[in-house]
Amino acid sequence: MSQLATENLSLKIWVRDRILFLALVIFFFGGAFYIGAGKFLDPQNEWLHPIKEFALLLSLVGVVSLGYELFLREMTFREYKDALE
């Protein structure tokens, strides 16, 4: 393998690792905000439900990003590679 191909592969792995890490961080922050909103805000507070729904949205973004990165990206890359051969 040439030096350029090795560097390109290591860059792809580095980027994928960072995307996976950020997706997990977004998911866990959303979950923490959802759980924490009920503990820190009064149950009768008018901002409780919008904050909890925003936290759920954050968690959903994290889960979708994680799922795409783990499953769909590899599958589409393999299909693309097979089509080129």
Q: How many CA atoms lie within 13 A of 33 on its CB side?
A: 20
- Express each pLDDT in 27-46 by its tens digit: 999 999 999 998 998 989 99
- DSSP SS3 for 1: coil
Sign of CA dihedral 63, 68, 69, 75: positive
Do 66 and 24 touch, CB atoms closer than 8 A? yes
Q: Give the Cα separation of 33 and 47 in Å (integer).
A: 13
Looking at every residue in the chain, the average pLDDT score rounds to: 85
Q: Give the Cα separation of 46 and 57 in Å (integer).
A: 18
Mean pLDDT in order along the chain per 10 residues (85 residues):
67 85 94 92 91 95 89 70 70
Query: How much is the pTM?
Result: 0.74
